[in-house]
Chain A
Amino acid sequence: MMKIERRYKRPALKREKEKVEELFKKATVKNLQLMRDVPSRCPGISYYEEIISQETREKELKEFSGKIVGSFCIFTPEELIYASGAIPVRLCAGFYDTISIAEGVLPRDICPLVKSSFGFKIAGCSFSELCDVAVVPTPCDPKKKMAEILSDYLPVWVLKISHDKDLFYSKELWLREIKIFKEKLENLTGNKITRKRLKEAIQLLHKRQAVFRRFHQIKRNNPQLINGRDTQLIIQSSFYDDIERWTETTEKLCEELKQRRINNDDQRVKLLLTGAPLIWPNFKLFNIIEQMEATVVTDELCSGTRHLYDPVEVDEWSEEGMLRAIANRYLLPSTCPCFIESDDRIDKLLQISQDFKVDGIIHHSLRLCQLYDMELNKVASVLKDKGIPFLSIHTDYSLEDVEQIKTRVEAFLEMIKSRKGKK
Chain B
Amino acid sequence: MEKSKINSVRKPHRRGDNPLSWITTNGVKRPITLLRRSSQIICFSFIVFGAFFGLKKQNLSFLPFIEAPKEYEEYKQQLKQEGRTITLVGPGYPQAFDTYLPIKSCRFLRQTGTFRACFVHFVSESIGWATPLRLVLPHILLFVILAVLFGRLWCGWVCPLGFVQDVLNTIRRTVKLNPIFPSQKLKRIFKTTSYILFISIILLSIISVIPSFSWSLRKQVYLSVCQMCPSRYIFPYLGGWPIVHNFIPVGYGIFTTISIIFTLLLAMSFFMKRNWCKICPSGLLLSFFNRGALMNKEKDLLKCTRCGICLEVCPLQNEAVYLEKKNKNIDYANCIHCFRCIDSCPENGCLKLKFLRKRILQSKFKE
Contact surface of A with B, Cβ cutoff 8 Å: 166, 168, 171, 195, 206-207, 210, 213-214, 310-311, 313, 315-321, 324-325, 328-329, 332-333, 343-344, 347-348, 350-351, 354
A385 to B184, CA, bound (A): 38
Chain A residues contacting B173 (CB-CB under 8 Å) are: 316, 318
CB distance from A87 to the nearest CB of B (A): 24
CB distance from A308 to the nearest CB of B (A): 13
* Residue from the list B184, B309, B325 in contact with A315, Cβ < 8 A: B309
- 10 A-B pairs (CB sep. < 8 Å): A210-B367, A213-B365, A313-B309, A316-B173, A318-B176, A324-B312, A333-B305, A343-B325, A348-B305, A351-B303
Contact A313 B184, CB 8 Å, known A324-B312, A328-B308: no
A210 to B176, CA, bound (A): 26
Chain B residues contacting A328 (CB-CB under 8 Å) are: 307-309, 312
Which residue on B lies nearest to A166, using beta carbons? B323
Chain A residues contacting B177 (CB-CB under 8 Å) are: 318
Other A-B pairs, 6, CB within 8 Å; known A313-B309, A313-B346, A332-B308: A195-B176, A206-B367, A310-B346, A313-B307, A328-B307, A347-B304
Q: Mark B316-330, 1 if CB is under 8 A from A, else 0.
A: 000000010100000
CB distance from A192 to the nearest CB of B (A): 16
Beta-carbon contact of A347 and B325 below 8 Å: yes
Which residue on A lies nearest to B367, using beta carbons? A210
Chain B residues contacting A318 (CB-CB under 8 Å) are: 173, 176-178
* Residue from the list A210, A315, A348 in contact with B365, Cβ < 8 A: A210
Chain B interface bracket (under 10, 10 to 19, 20 to 34, 35 or more): 20 to 34
A207, A317, A325, A333 pick with most chain B CB within 10 angstroms:
A333
User: Which secondary structure dominates where chain A touches chain B?
Assistant: helix
Beta-carbon contact of A311 and B302 below 8 Å: no
A254 to B178, CA, bound (A): 39
Which residue on A lies nearest to B300, using beta carbons? A351
Chain A residues contacting B176 (CB-CB under 8 Å) are: 195, 316-319
Chain B residues contacting A317 (CB-CB under 8 Å) are: 176
Chain A residues contacting B19 (CB-CB under 8 Å) are: none
Beta-carbon contact of A315 and B301 below 8 Å: no
Beta-carbon contact of B313 and A315 below 8 Å: yes
The reply on B105 being an interface residue by CB < 8 A is no
Interface contact tally, CB-CB below 8 A:
65
Chain B residues contacting A329 (CB-CB under 8 Å) are: 307
Which residue on B lies nearest to A195, using beta carbons? B176
Q: Mark B73-117, 1 if CB is under 8 A from A, else 0.
A: 000000000000000000000000000000000000000000000
Task: Find residues 169-209 in chain B having any chain A CB closer than 8 Å to their own CB.
Answer: 173, 176-179, 184
A343 to B301, CA, bound (A): 12
* Residue from the list A206, A310, A315, A350 in contact with B312, Cβ < 8 A: A315
Beta-carbon contact of A321 and B365 below 8 Å: no
The reply on B256 being an interface residue by CB < 8 A is no
A317, A318, A319, A324 pick with most chain B CB within 10 angstroms:
A318
* Residue from the list B179, B301, B302 in contact with A316, Cβ < 8 A: B179
A195 to B305, CA, bound (A): 28
A343 to B178, CA, bound (A): 33
Chain A residues contacting B354 (CB-CB under 8 Å) are: none
Chain B residues contacting A343 (CB-CB under 8 Å) are: 325
CB distance from A17 to the nearest CB of B (A): 42
A207 to B344, CA, bound (A): 16
Chain A residues contacting B301 (CB-CB under 8 Å) are: 347
The reply on B306 being an interface residue by CB < 8 A is yes
Which residue on A lies nearest to B30, using beta carbons? A315
Contact A325 B303, CB 8 Å, known A195-B176, A213-B365, A313-B344: no
A275 to B177, CA, bound (A): 42
Q: Mark B281-318, 1 if CB is under 8 A from A, else 0.
A: 00000000000000000000111111111001100000
Chain B residues contacting A321 (CB-CB under 8 Å) are: 178
Which residue on B lies nearest to A168, using beta carbons? B184
Chain A residues contacting B346 (CB-CB under 8 Å) are: 310-311, 313
Contact A344 B312, CB 8 Å, known A315-B344, A318-B178: no
Beta-carbon contact of B365 and A354 below 8 Å: no
A324 to B178, CA, bound (A): 11
A332 to B179, CA, bound (A): 21
Beta-carbon contact of A350 and B302 below 8 Å: yes
Which residue on A lies nearest to B307, using beta carbons? A333
Which residue on B lies nearest to A309, using beta carbons? B305
Which residue on A lies nearest to B350, using beta carbons? A351
A223 to B312, CA, bound (A): 35
Which residue on B lies nearest to A318, using beta carbons? B176
CB distance from B80 to the nearest CB of A (A): 49
Chain B residues contacting A315 (CB-CB under 8 Å) are: 309, 312-313, 344
* Residue from the list B302, B308, B312, B323 in contact with A347, Cβ < 8 A: B302
Chain A residues contacting B306 (CB-CB under 8 Å) are: 332-333, 344
Beta-carbon contact of B365 and A310 below 8 Å: no
Closest 6 CB pairs of A and B: A351-B302, A210-B367, A333-B305, A333-B307, A318-B176, A332-B308
Which residue on A lies nearest to B302, using beta carbons? A351
CB distance from A147 to the nearest CB of B (A): 27
A310 to B306, CA, bound (A): 11
Which residue on B lies nearest to A316, using beta carbons? B173
CB distance from B140 to the nearest CB of A (A): 39
CB distance from A331 to the nearest CB of B (A): 8
Chain A residues contacting B184 (CB-CB under 8 Å) are: 168
A93 to B283, CA, bound (A): 56
Q: Mark B148-173, 1 if CB is under 8 A from A, else 0.
A: 00000000000000000000000001
Contact A332 B344, CB 8 Å, known A315-B312, A318-B177, A321-B178: no
Chain B residues contacting A210 (CB-CB under 8 Å) are: 365, 367
Beta-carbon contact of A310 and B305 below 8 Å: yes
Chain B residues contacting A319 (CB-CB under 8 Å) are: 176
CB distance from A103 to the nearest CB of B (A): 38
